[in-house]
Amino acid sequence: MSRTDNVPRFLVLVPGAFARAGGIEAFDRLVIKAASEHCRDRGGETCVLSLNDTDGSVDTRYLAPRSTRYRGFGRSKWRFAREAILAACRFRPTGIMVGHVHLAPLAAGLRLVSRAWQWYFLYGIEVWRRLTPIQRLALRRADIVSAISGFTRDVCARCNCSAASRIHVLACALDPFWPGSTDLRGGEPLGTGSRTLLTVARLAASERYKGVDDVLRAMPDVLRAIPGANYVIVGEGDDRGRLEGIARALGIADHVQFRGWLAPPSLAEAYSQAALFVMPSRKEGFGIVYLEAAAHGCPSVAAAEGGSSEFIADGESGRLVPYGEPRALAACLISLLSDDRRRAEMGRRARERLREGYTYEAFRRRFDSILDNGVSAAPCGASGHRTRRIEPTGDVSSPTRGPTGENSAARISDG
């Protein structure tokens, strides 16, 4: 491939994408795929460096063949930083994509050896606070900044005294390789007659905000009204033992299944068999699991906190409940489990909402639009030309809305 300066060359730096499950990793896979395809379609190249992954963990389906290089560093920060500096010098990127604000010190150093434009991606709790001076400086100097939700955009801007208008919204999307992602029309949701509640989350002590405790504490009330109900929890982590103890103490252990981590085909089956997906978390930047549930016609019950409301339309494609109120959660669950027709209609609307704006194709269009509108077409990087900064335009924001119909930060949570 000719190494001329009129074709895009992207250096993509991510904390991880393949070695572990999680929302950030899922989003980074989308970024890697979109970036490598964007370059390939324009005759360019992409170099992806991942801090926490290994070379053996990569899923090559996300890499455009023959135009994408990938390296994982197995959590070795010094090797990751060294390779990033070498890539900035030798690969001569026209653009550097920074997959986490924690990589700001490294990205700042890369400015000393590369004049490539820089794009920062923001997720959730990592920017729902006052950032460090170097992180704030990095975002101010960035050519492009995007957030996965209007909520994250607004809270980050408010906490760091910056203009929300500078931050694009690049919403999450359903993984293009998710089982059944190519056919989102479907018919009657498979879980219509089910009484199974499902949560998919990392069961970590540091992530108790996911709301699994609240679902467990709601279950006694649910079981009194609907004796056939049961609760399936998919995920692993250091908090699993404590949660199992809560189930035993509440006398509901026979109605709760801890299934550990499931591979995508088994997880897709769990979604399709569930009556409701329940994760009343107060610290979701967006919540990709709500999209996965919607793909199977399974409506979600979430907390009216964070970015969850930007996909879940309360009363239409799911329900939003107060965080930390098991009684209110139980009343909501009982109401929906008792009404198959209403639940099925919510599931259909959730799938329709997903199909209209949260597929990979929609993500790729927004990704390309941000690049095409936010970065100068003039050569940059090794040629020494400067990029020009353009304010975000309305057509690159996600087609989402907050609880009042706007992308607004109603409340701030840590996480």
Q: What mean pLDDT is reported for the chain?
A: 88
**Within 13 Å, how many C-alpha atoms sit on residue 308's CB side?**
31
Q: Please state which of the ranges 186-195, 369-378, 405-414 shows the lowest mean pLDDT.
A: 405-414
Which residue do the tokens 């290089």 mark? 69
Structure tokens that stand for 378 in this block: 């003039």
Residues 88-128 have pLDDT tens digits of 999 999 999 999 999 999 999 999 999 999 999 999 999 99
Does residue 356 or residue 406 have the better pLDDT? 356
Q: How far is the first Cα of the chain from the last one, in angstroms, to the nearest whole number?
A: 43
Domain 9-173+359-396 homologous superfamily, CATH: Glycogen Phosphorylase B; (3.40.50.2000)
Cβ count near 162 (within 10 Å) = 16
Averaged over 174-192, what is the pLDDT? 72
Q: Is the dihedral of CA 230, 339, 275, 401 positive or negative?
A: negative
Whole-number pLDDT of residue 5: 56
Contact predicate 47/11, CB 8 Å: yes
With bands split at pLDDT 50, 70 and 90, how would you rate the model's confidence at 44? Answer: very high
Which DSSP string corresponds to 189-219?
-TTTT--EEEEE----GGGGGG-HHHHHHHH
- Domain limits of the chain? 9-173+359-396, 196-357
Structure tokens that stand for 82 in this block: 């060294």
Four-way CATH pick for 196-357: 3.30.930.10, 3.30.565.10, 3.40.50.2000, 3.90.230.10: 3.40.50.2000
List Cβ neighbours of 25 (8 Å cut-off, separation of 6 or more). 16, 17, 18, 19
Tell me, yes or no, if the two domains 9-173+359-396 and 196-357 fold the same way: yes
Whole-number pLDDT of residue 374: 75
Contact predicate 239/203, CB 8 Å: yes
